Structure 1
Amino acid sequence: MKQVKNAALFFVVTLVFLQRFAFADESAAQILNSIRLAEISQELDGRLRKEDGTIIPFHLKAGGDELVFTFSNPTEVLRLRFEDNGSTLTRQTGDHERVITGAKLNDSVRGTDITYLDLSLRFLHWKDSRIEGEQNLRTFPSWMILLQQPDRNTPYASVRVWVAKQSGALLRAEAFDAQSRLLKKFEVISGQRIEGKWFLKQMRIERYDPDTGKLISRTYLEINA
């Protein structure tokens, strides 16, 4: 699904005024479906940078409705495929490629603050969504949308996303538990032009202690054109 592919790397640009509106759920779904990534066919180098300075390089291949992340030492290939009703994330080690499902989605990617669930961006397909209002996010007028997940087996009970009105880009996402306590925050820091189109350059991922609300750690996702 092309629109979700955009979010995958946005995921995969802050607060001024908040206005309340009474929008139908259908409007929220339409905005989520408008999220777009400039279609590119590129092979790029990137890295995950942990707060302690640890660098985890990867190779990214973007094309069609698929993103492929290749890590080394040890070799691990993550293949994210986008479909009309969701996304599929597979993990290949050696000759074995398996779909990541269930509790495995909550595992960390290479020991960072990013999980396989985060990478799959499945929350964008949750049916329960509503527009909460508007905010200017770094001068970009944006819709603020709340998505809720009835499945208690996932760590995220709800996710709030900010979508730029003009570009349809996903600029920020905040994930909460069933008690509405912040668990994770994703924020685009900068972008870049690739083939004349906007693409992610740097994103910050922060993990929070739900009991205290304090920041635990952060990881940066960085893409080099």
Structure 2
Amino acid sequence: MNRRLFAQSMIATLASVGLPNLALSKESDPSADEILRLVRMSYAMQDYKLSGNLRDDESGRTQPFELTMAAQVIRFRFSDPAEIVNVDLSSEPPTLTQIKSGSKSKMPPSALSEPLRGMSMSYEDLSLGFLDWPNPKLVGHDTIKLGAKCWVIQVNNPAPTGAYGTVKIWVHQASGGMAKMEAYDRTSGKLVKEFLVRGVQKAGDVTVLEEMRIKTFDAISGEKQALTIMTMDKPEKKQSL
């Protein structure tokens, strides 16, 4: 699987979401590997510079960010205070480095799963690294809002690190884009994160993410702890050198 592509997965989901009603179809389906390959292919041509905003629904606090990618390095740029975090996907586990006040330092691998600037989101969430987990399985089908049909894919974390043990991914059958994701705690097995696509926008000939809502749940009680709303500006085409 190509690790270069999964960081761009958040920018092109083509459906809204609803409540699951899963049941395996009797019709012939692509394999889970083929479905996730569709996901990656749908983003392969989207060479954009992404900027957006995270907002905590309870406090109203906001955090602007910018995301770009070169080779296998995802770069997150923040302001107030200024900070750049690079996630190098060429290593296993990924290597994180921080540039702050003109100084560069290495971050521990655990930082990938830690709250990002006090938000309920993490770098693991923003990069959607679970798209690269091996041995995906097609576990069902779902008809979501407006009658859009989705495949439901399950992936299991192959590593002993990371917050999530299992992730389920709703893939829009018509577009190959993602509509919804659910992440389950490594220890308790309970739902701890839910990603819901709530709005899309046009950028050239493609439809890209405009709003995603991320709910965080307690790993023991299952109660909702936080809601983070991620909005994306209209993507800018990166300039060719």
TM-score range, shorter chain: 0.7 to 0.9
Residue matched to 2:43:
37
Alignment of 1:58-207 (within 5 A): 58-61=65-68, 68-79=75-86, 90-97=97-104, 102-138=109-145, 139-177=147-185, 178-207=187-216
Residue 174 of structure 1 and its aligned partner are, at CA, apart by 0.7
Q: Distance in 2 between matches of 1:99 and 1:193?
A: 37
CA shift in 2, pair 1:38/1:102, >3 Å? closer
What CA deviation, in whole Å up to 9, does each residue of 1:195-218 have, x standing for no partner? Answer: 221111011111101222110011
Is 1:56 aligned to residue 60 of structure 2? no
Report Cα offsets for 1:155-193 as digits up to 9, x if no partner.
Answer: 211111111111111111111123320111111111101
Contact 2:22 2:140 in 1 (8 A): yes
* Distance in 2 of aligned mates of 1:127 and 1:59: 29
Q: RMSD across aligned C-alpha pairs, in angstroms?
A: 3.0
Contact 1:129-1:148 at 8 Å conserved across structures:
yes
* Residue 15 (1) aligns with residue 19 (2): yes
- Indicate the SS of the match to 2:164: coil
Question: How far apart are the structure 2 equivalents of 1:55 and 1:216?
Answer: 17
Q: Distance in 1 between matches of 2:93 and 2:172?
A: 22
Unaligned runs of 5+ in 1: none
Q: CA deviation at 1:78?
A: 3.4
Distance 1:183 1:16, change over 3 A: closer
Residue type at the aligned position of 1:57:
P
8 Å Cα contact 1:183/1:208 also seen in 2: yes
Distance of aligned partners of 1:10 and 1:198 in 2 relative to their CA distance in 1, 3 Å threshold: closer
Name the CA shift for 1:126/1:224 in 2 (closer, same or farther; >3 Å).
same
TM-score (norm 1): 0.83
- Residues 10 and 188 in structure 1, CA contact (< 8 A), matched pair in contact too: no
> Alignment identity in percent?
27
Question: Distance between the aligned counterparts of 1:81 and 1:68, measured in 2?
Answer: 9
Specify which of 46, 52, 67 is matched with residue 52 of structure 2: 46
- 8 Å CA contact 1:128, 1:149 repeated in 2: no
For residues 207 and 61 of structure 2, what CA distance do their matches in structure 1 show?
Answer: 27
Give the TM-score of the pair, scaled to structure 2: 0.78
Q: How many residues align?
A: 221
CA contact (8 A) 1:3 1:34 kept: no
8 A Cα contact 2:10 2:209, kept in partner = no
**Distance in 2 separating the partners of 1:190 and 1:164:** 14
Hey, what's the Cα distance between the residues in 2 that align with 1:37 and 1:94? 34
Equivalents in 2 of 1:162, 1:116: separation in Å?
21
